[in-house]
Amino acid sequence: MKTKIISHKAPRLLVHPKKPNILKVVVLAVALTGLLKPIQAQDTIYTKPLLWFGLTAGANVNFYQGSTQKLNDALTVPTAFHEGIGLGLFAGPEIDIFRPGTHFGVMVAGAYDSRKGTFNEVSTPCNCPADLNTKITYISVEPSLKYAPFKSSFYLFGGPRFAFNMSKSFTYSLGINPAYPDQAATNDVSGDFSNINTSLISMQVGAGFDIPLTNYFSRTQLVFSPFVSFHPYFGQDPRSIETWNVTTIRAGAAIKIGSGRLIKEKAIVEEVVIVTPINTEVIDTHVDFSVYSPENIPLKRKISEIFPIRNYIFFDIGSTEIPKRYVQLNKEQVLDFNEKNVVMYTSDINSGRSQRQMTVYYNILNILGSRMNENPSTTITLLGASEKGSYDGLLMAESVKKYLVDVFAIEPERIKTVGQDKPKLPSEQNGITTEVALHLEGDRRVSIESSSPVLLMEFQSGPEAPLKPVVVEVEEEAPVESYVSFFADGSNESFESWSLEITDEDGVVQNFGPFTEEYVAIPGKTILGTRSKGDFKVNMVGKTENGYIIQQDTTVHLVLWTQPVDEELMRFSVLYGFNESNISPMYKKYLTDVVVPKIPAGGKIIIHGHTDMIGDAAYNQKLSLDRANNVKQIIENELIRIDRSNVKFDVVGLGEDVTTSPFDNKYPEERFYNRTVIIEIIPFNAFAVE
């Protein structure tokens, strides 16, 4: 039986904390006596609108460069004009689409767009001053990608500009020679430029800020958005002849109106705590907070755990010696080595579940040597890759070869060594700009390549084929499905981060967080400690980007996970490449040909997706779920194909969460193994127990 407790409590609204000015607080308190009641009496609360309509207007500061002399077929002036400046109007409608609390949106403006200006005065051969004024206008359409880097009112935008010429007139003025002041003045010449480009494609980038003009309770909301933008000269050639081009800086503002979505009816503000009169506002939030606390799972699970073996040995930066974390035996220990009992050969640096699989992995050299002794016809290639170059990589490969030859007495001619500066599937690729050092650590490795099937994973071949998995019999610690789950649906849009305050019956408070993802799982034992059960008050504390604090609370009953009943199950793991959510063909075949045949009718499949800690936590949360669903889809399709029915699935994405990740993230091999999906196969009777 499982219990789910959900609490929806009206948010507690707090003003941003600053040092109060006592006089201002008193004055504001008097003023609020007439305002507080209307705020409390609001019947509805709406979200910020997704779609905005508005009018935008601004001033174009136009900078002329290049040259123009032939104004049209009837007029070529005696001296070319080169530089100038002018001020023109930009005005028209605008549409914005932007989901609150996210980074990206789109905006489209269509407007009257004046690029008029006046060229700097030039002197003609008669020593007469000449001036040229232009009235170049367009109808412009400017679609832009909108990016809010802080998920706030500040945004950047950029995109193309499509301009269609509307007017192209000019006025040319020729003055008199100052040396002959009595000379008759020449009349101004007006006309239209020839060879005008009827359409232009250019670009524009800028920044803006949305200032609310209405409160967040209103369904219809208004914002005032000042902005600046830059339009470089690329593509802004008014004419198809000569070299005249225009660069524009625009400053302006938009008034936009939108309709919010109803999120709460008859919401009553429970408390307004005035700490300071500065920055007081009502905050639009809608977060559904819930706690999922499973009852004790009455099973003791004995697991046949099938560990995948990456065909890599990772080396420390600056060293060509096999790292001490890899288990290295002496010749006497080789006689007693058995990969089925590999957990006996433990490295000193590991603990927890990570110890199990990392102990298996850190025995990779011993597993390889033992298998090569059992199969004397097998051969391997050791490919060392080093950021220092191929010779350094060769020294790394020779270190591995020396161990296999000296300790396991493998014939040297069965092992070929190669050095190069990059592995065949590098982690450090073009375009990666963050956490480069971690990718570099992942590329400093020796890859084991073989064409001998007895060394490799079932049904696999080729240079990147993993080694055959190792089967280990273990008793499970508290399974992930026994963890307490906390859901803050909508927190990504409303909060910068949120935390948990968990209080027991004696008033002892435990704090967890801050979190940025909407789902968090915590082992029951972490909360209960030495107790077998308990009742707890759970307070979710959300912090908005402006520093406001919003709280929701509920209660939950926890029971410590125990093991009173025996059960056997199988656990498999499949591995993913960096930032990949589609499984490789070799692991897809492993799922369909090895894992699926072991799933009984009426059984249950528990699938947990994980990632390493490289990258954004929220992105990794989604990536882990995508990986888990990728595995589920492959298994489901194969079960349908073989007509295996009545199989239940439980799918969870756990991201990079350190409380649930299989391994630490200190070493590259741990990060490689954390890019995984774990599949547990539970027989029917295992979850039918009441």
The answer to whether residues 325 and 227 belong to one domain is: no
Give the confidence band of 283 by pLDDT, cuts at 50, 70, 90: very low
What CATH number did the domain enclosing 534 receive? 2.60.40.10
The answer to whether residues 335 and 256 belong to one domain is: no
Which pLDDT value is given to residue 271?
Answer: 34
**Which of residues 517 and 649 earns the better pLDDT score?**
649
Q: Which residues of 315-349 are buried (b: 16+ CB within 10 A; e: fewer)?
A: beeeebebeebbbbbeeeeeeebebeebbebbbee
Residue % of the chain over a pLDDT of 90? 33
Q: How far apart are CA 596 and CA 603, in angstroms?
A: 11
**Are the C-beta atoms of 575 and 586 separated by less than 8 Å?**
no
Which pLDDT value is given to residue 401?
Answer: 94
Which pLDDT value is given to residue 136?
Answer: 97
**Are the C-beta atoms of 185 and 176 separated by less than 8 Å?**
yes
Which pLDDT value is given to residue 197?
Answer: 96
For 672, phi then psi, to 5°, come to -65, -40
Q: Give the domain-ending residue among 496, 527, 556.
A: 556
The answer to whether residues 552 and 570 belong to one domain is: no
Please provide the average confidence, as pLDDT, over all residues in the chain: 78
How many domains does one find in the chain? 4
Cα-based distances in Å from 319 to 347, 390, 415: 20, 14, 21
Give the confidence band of 527 by pLDDT, cuts at 50, 70, 90: confident
The answer to whether residues 651 and 593 belong to one domain is: yes
CA angle 78, 84, 85 (to 5 degrees): 150
Does residue 30 lie within any of the structural domains?
no
C-alpha dihedral (609, 614, 616, 617), degrees to nearest 10: 40
**Are the C-beta atoms of 622 and 666 separated by less than 8 Å?**
no
**Which of residues 668 and 685 earns the better pLDDT score?**
668
Q: Is the pLDDT of residue 162 over 90?
A: yes
Q: How far apart are CA 60 and CA 89, in angstroms?
A: 6
**Which of residues 626 and 216 earns the better pLDDT score?**
626
Which pLDDT value is given to residue 654?
Answer: 84
Cα-based distances in Å from 643 to 345, 622, 638, 647: 42, 31, 8, 11
**Are the C-beta atoms of 677 and 610 separated by less than 8 Å?**
yes
What CATH number did the domain enclosing 326 receive? 3.30.1330.60
Q: CB count, 10 Å around CB of 19?
A: 7
Which residue range(s) make up the domain with 154? 48-260
Of 162-171, 258-267, 446-455, which one has max mean pLDDT? 162-171
Q: Is the pLDDT of residue 266 over 50?
A: no
CA angle 669, 670, 671 (to 5 degrees): 90
Which pLDDT value is given to residue 38?
Answer: 36
The answer to whether residues 517 and 496 belong to one domain is: yes
The answer to whether residues 218 and 130 belong to one domain is: yes
Does residue 530 lie within any of the structural domains?
yes
Which pLDDT value is given to residue 18?
Answer: 39
Residue type, 285: T
Q: How far apart are CA 555 and CA 504, in angstroms?
A: 10
CA angle 396, 402, 404 (to 5 degrees): 110
643: phi > 0 → left, psi -120 to 50 → alpha, else beta; which?
Answer: left
Which pLDDT value is given to residue 25?
Answer: 37
Q: Is 298 helix (H, G, I), strand (E, B) or coil?
A: coil
Q: Is the pLDDT of residue 302 over 80?
A: no
Distance of CA 521 to the CA centre of its chain: 20
Q: How far apart are CA 41 and CA 27, in angstroms?
A: 23
Q: Token match 């125990």: residue? A: 562
Which pLDDT value is given to residue 542?
Answer: 84
Q: Dig out the tokens for 254 from the structure.
A: 């938009």
**Which of residues 118 and 435 earns the better pLDDT score?**
118
Q: How far apart are CA 102 and CA 172, in angstroms?
A: 52
Pairing of strands 199-209, 154-174: antiparallel
Q: Token match 């240079």: residue? A: 463
Q: Is the pLDDT of residue 624 over 50?
A: yes
Q: Token match 């609020």: residue? A: 32
Q: How far apart are CA 409 and CA 635, in angstroms?
A: 42
The answer to whether residues 429 and 540 belong to one domain is: no
Q: Give the domain-ending residue among 510, 527, 556.
A: 556
Q: Is the pLDDT of residue 20 over 50?
A: no
**Which of residues 497 and 485 earns the better pLDDT score?**
497
The answer to whether residues 241 and 109 belong to one domain is: yes
**Mean pLDDT, residues 283-311 taken together:** 60
Among 351, 362, 599, 574, residue whose Cα is nearest residue 477: 351
Lowest mean pLDDT among 14-18, 75-79, 391-395: 14-18
Does residue 294 lie within any of the structural domains?
no
The answer to whether residues 84 and 221 belong to one domain is: yes
Q: Is the pLDDT of residue 656 over 60?
A: yes
Give the confidence band of 603 by pLDDT, cuts at 50, 70, 90: confident
Q: Is the pLDDT of residue 471 over 70?
A: no
Lowest mean pLDDT among 116-120, 122-126, 434-438, 562-566: 562-566
CA angle 325, 331, 332 (to 5 degrees): 105
Which pLDDT value is given to residue 432?
Answer: 55
Residue type, 99: R
Q: How far apart are CA 540 and CA 377, in angstroms?
A: 62
**Mean pLDDT, residues 638-666 taken together:** 81
**Burial (Cβ within 10 Å: 0-12, 13-18, ≥19) of residue 143:** middle
Residue type, 160: P
Q: Is 398 helix (H, G, I), strand (E, B) or coil?
A: helix
Lowest mean pLDDT among 409-418, 542-551, 591-600: 542-551
Which pLDDT value is given to residue 402?
Answer: 94
- Tens digit of pLDDT for each residue in 218-230? 788 899 999 999 9
Q: Dig out the tokens for 504 from the structure.
A: 């027991």
Which pLDDT value is given to residue 422?
Answer: 86
Q: How far apart are CA 368 and CA 379, in angstroms?
A: 11
DSSP string, 164-187: EEEEEEEEEEE---TT-TTSPPPP
Does residue 1 lie within any of the structural domains?
no
Q: Is 439 helix (H, G, I), strand (E, B) or coil?
A: helix
Lowest mean pLDDT among 263-272, 593-602, 681-690: 263-272
Q: What single DSSP character describes residue 375? A: S
Which pLDDT value is given to residue 189?
Answer: 94
Does residue 209 lie within any of the structural domains?
yes
Does residue 25 lie within any of the structural domains?
no
Does residue 439 lie within any of the structural domains?
yes
Radius of gyration of the chain (CA): 35
Lowest mean pLDDT among 87-101, 248-262, 281-295, 521-535: 281-295
Lowest mean pLDDT among 80-94, 96-110, 511-525: 511-525
The answer to whether residues 671 and 523 belong to one domain is: no
Which pLDDT value is given to residue 561?
Answer: 55
Does residue 271 lie within any of the structural domains?
no
**Are the C-beta atoms of 470 and 371 separated by less than 8 Å?**
no
Which pLDDT value is given to residue 228?
Answer: 97
**Mean pLDDT, residues 421-435 taken together:** 68
The answer to whether residues 156 and 227 belong to one domain is: yes
Which pLDDT value is given to residue 131?
Answer: 96
Q: How far apart are CA 437 and CA 319, in angstroms?
A: 16
Which pLDDT value is given to residue 39?
Answer: 35
Q: Is 636 helix (H, G, I), strand (E, B) or coil?
A: helix
**Are the C-beta atoms of 282 and 215 separated by less than 8 Å?**
yes
**Are the C-beta atoms of 260 and 46 separated by less than 8 Å?**
yes
Q: How far apart are CA 466 and CA 261, in angstroms?
A: 52
Which pLDDT value is given to residue 303?
Answer: 60
Among 496, 503, 500, residue whose Cα is nearest residue 546: 496
Q: Give the domain-ending residue among 227, 260, 293.
A: 260
The answer to whether residues 460 and 509 belong to one domain is: no
Give the confidence band of 40 by pLDDT, cuts at 50, 70, 90: very low
pTM above 0.75, yes or no: no
